[in-house]
Amino acid sequence: MTGTVTFIGLGTMGQPMVRSLARSVPVAVFDVDPDAIDAVVRNEGVTALAGPVDGAEGDVVILMLPNSAIVERVLGDPEDAESLAGRLRPGTLVVDMGSSAPLATQRMAARLRERHVAMIDAPVSGGPRKAATAELTIMVGGPAEDYERALPLLRAMGSSVTHVGPSGSAHALKALNNLLSAIGLVGALEVLTAGTKFGLDPRTMLDVINRSTGRNQSTEVKIGPEVLDGRFQVGFSLPLTVKDITTALELSASMGLSLEVSEACVQFCRAALADLGEKNPDQSEMARYLAKATGVDLTG
């Protein structure tokens, strides 16, 4: 694909994604944090925008923002000629790569479509490490022709790109994936806590579990280095975890589903966030909350 690309949102994920993208196409960037802009404009092919509305010149506008409320605030009202959405030219493609609420995504996509502006949702999985190596898993929701148009750009940032359905589908899948991931992490922490209380060594437990049917991504990747070794640096914050899994639970409730295990996990994660009392604790720090509640410390 040819043309210009605007990228808005240079957080933990956005910065390495821009670096990967800039290897194949010029990118104009914006973030509310000037330091974040400075960190990426040092790379060849990256230029800074004075403000988000200046991004309307891009043929493709990529958003990597924390939630739907911020996406809507950055885009603005499509009927407002002074907003970013109002300035987008017909034929522009908007790609929301954050973890937005699927129903909000559907509403915004419909409003933009009235102005002949396309929008797809393309959230990612893999964390900062996979973003740095352009090995993200990217799921895409929206019309097939818009998916095909965005595919070369998405492949510059991810090693797995899958069209999963119509508008909002990818944001739904991302929220549900993160809910399952959280269930796996919380469940593994509780199992290790019970075993440690019994007298088992948590490292021995983890080694055996990872050769058994109970293994999951948290046991294989997160818990050893980030919890048992006490680093607590998974790279995905607990507030964002709570936001995403709440989105998944709200989506389920909107369809009349009551999911007991999911509800218990969300309740646990919310309690951990309230107890930790830090500005932006890492997801893995739920182990500290569990240690405080049970008297069993897995670190050491």
pTM, full prediction: 0.93
> What are 68-72's contacts with CB under 8 Å, separation 24+?
68/100, 68/101, 68/104, 68/105, 68/108, 70/98, 71/96, 71/98, 71/100, 71/104, 71/108, 72/104, 72/108
Mean pLDDT along residues 44-72: 95
pLDDT in tens, 194-252: 999 999 999 999 999 999 999 999 999 999 999 999 999 998 999 999 999 999 999 99
Within the chain, where are the H helices?
14-21, 34-41, 68-75, 84-87, 102-113, 127-132, 144-155, 169-198, 202-209, 217, 238-254, 260-276, 286-294
What domains can be seen in the chain, in order of their start residue? 5-166 (3.40.50.720), 172-294 (1.10.1040.10)
Contact 125, 152 (CB under 8 A): no
Task: Considering the candidates 130, 174, 243, 292, report the single residue annotated as catalytic.
Answer: 174
What's the average model confidence in pLDDT over 72-98? 97
Q: What is the pLDDT of residue 2?
A: 52
Q: Looking at the predicted structure, is the pLDDT value of residue 40 above 90?
A: yes
pLDDT of the residue at 1: 45
Active site residue 222: no
- Is 243:263 a contact under the CB 8 Å cutoff? no
144-169 residue pLDDT tens = 999 999 999 999 999 999 999 999 99
